[in-house]
Structure 1
Amino acid sequence: MAANGRYAIGWICAVATEFVAARLVLDAEHGQPQYLAPCDTNQYCLGSIGDHNVVITVLPEARYRHGTSAAATVVTNMLNSFPNVRIGLAVGLGVGASNETKDIRLGDIVVSTSRADENGDLHYDCGKFLQNKPFERARMLHRSPTVLRTAIAGLRADHEINGHLIEEVIEDTLTKYSNLRRKYGRPSEESESHHIRPDHCTEGCALPTGDGFLTSPDRDEDDRIMIHYGTINSSNRLMRDAKTRDRVSTEENILCFEKEAALLMDLLPCVAIRGICGYSNSPPNQDWQRYAALVAAAYAKELLLVMVPRSVEGEDRAQRH
């Protein structure tokens, strides 16, 4: 039994695929919690990455369709059972919105960061996507905690100089869990090239194949997985209308759309890390979901490995509700 007070980092997943990916990148699992708070029905996995102890939880499958409200309940339960949790990681799947300066592809990563003139990382719009009307921004959420923003800045610099280790983390993981390589390994490039790309992509972003699909120029081997930093839009439903999506992403410089992270910021200071498994003007690409979940988890692992445990402990405990 693992003592609940040892865990300072909460890792929240929306679906089982993300939960599996999170468990795969742990250095060690610690067994079951010592206790659970009354009415806490969450499922947990306790483990460690480097010197950090991490508690991972997942939304119940029936609640996933409720998006932010389900996430709020799960996080509240976690904070009541693990009173020393200070920061959170919202790690999982998202759909990309490329623009003129960002070529976002399947298997890429988007990390929530804010511009200097903004107060937070995530737009929360309550599903108010009104075609041909101004985008209704409900609010900007709080910035990620300083310890996470500092670690992201440092990791970003390391990647600029030395390149990232995402593929190395994935290869080590799939070597350890070789039975999952077929499910969680990178899909074929044909699967990516025959997925519909965003409508407004520039000529360097997507090219017609002649069969109604779009393909993308080849990337260098070192750039096969790109990490993008910027604004993530979170709401109770994903944006499916291509014209509205393109307008909103351009006006607000949004790189990614997802469903859960918005209310997490009110309950638990966190950063959103999303592996891209589709584009919001086309159906989700089932072939890429497991790999995208593992890519996001691998980035989260890299992020934790550059963080000093003492800096996490210096953050205030998340408020209980």
Structure 2
Amino acid sequence: MQYRLNKRYSDYASVHEISKLALSISDKYEIEALMIGGSLLGLVRDGDLLPWDKDVDFAVFEKDIDKTFALEGEFRAAGFECRLHYLGVRSPESLQKGKALLLELQQRLNELGIENCQLNGGLLNLYRDGELFSESQALSMLLNTNNIDTMRDVKARISDLGDTYLNVDGDFTKGVILIAGEWRINLFCYHQNPDDQSEFGWSDLNCDHWFSSPLFPAQTKEVHGMTLNLPNDFEGHLLARFGKNWHKPSPSQFSNGRVEGWMQLYKDGVMVDYIVHYVRGEKTYWFEPAANVISTKGFLPATLEDTPAGKLLMPDHPEIFLTEHYGDWKTPVKSWNGAVDNPTIVPSDEAMQAIINPKS
């Protein structure tokens, strides 16, 4: 079995409007969202967003974390899909609640007569270890349906467990998300790839997850004292999804602590990220999917400026950040040449401990 990740983005023309729409919501609540990353580079060097930039990044600071993360409902009402990321170590009580939620959802889906299976990290951890990994973020299940009316029934059936949202992209039903306390559980719809009938999987924000073999019919198996619904050829699925070392314990990134990481918004092929920045003395720490980064002075103070993407809060001295992260950033290029490999990238736990244990 082979696994393929496909990322979908829009034409460049949509980026400005989607960015303006996101900011119109966060600005309404006086959230200071600063332009950062490659988006900042393009605006400073070229006077506009980079033509290949479909992922727009803003920094938000600690004073605005709660206000930002509380806007999920408003962003969704404006047509955005939304995902919140937290990083760090969960309590044993939280892990048990997450496990119980997965088993409860499996039971309710069985009662509705909807074929389903465990998915992603939850599948790996429950099958391999019998428990969820202490650094688990979201949990997932796959439902053998993509009928929107059926998913509305699912949404209604689980609404007593927490807040629920239906994710639909045009005629493509992606699934339902449940937010229950500290846990976010994605109930993804199963699809056959419309562009390649030999692939099967699901879609999440801008990512299509395709496998070369069907994931249904599901297999029911007793594992670590639990009855689990597993994908068809579940060990082949785990090998394809997580690699040849899937059976080995997951390495830990954090020793302790848990913080807000970032909010992802997706609409019409454009991703907008609100990345939480933690200022500690002259250093600013934040987490990204592939790196945990620090920067010295370079974000604040900031000034509201007119740009082709609307009024944006721009650092007064962006050259400090750009030099740290993009090397010879002043040289125009015709395609993305990446951030530099620089000493501002630090281990995850080092960043976490600096955030939760600031020096007095």
- Common topology (TM > 0.5): no
TM-score (normalised: structure 2): 0.26
Higher strand share: 2
TM-score (normalised: structure 1): 0.28
Which has more radius of gyration?
2
Higher relative contact order (CA 8 A, sep 6+): 1
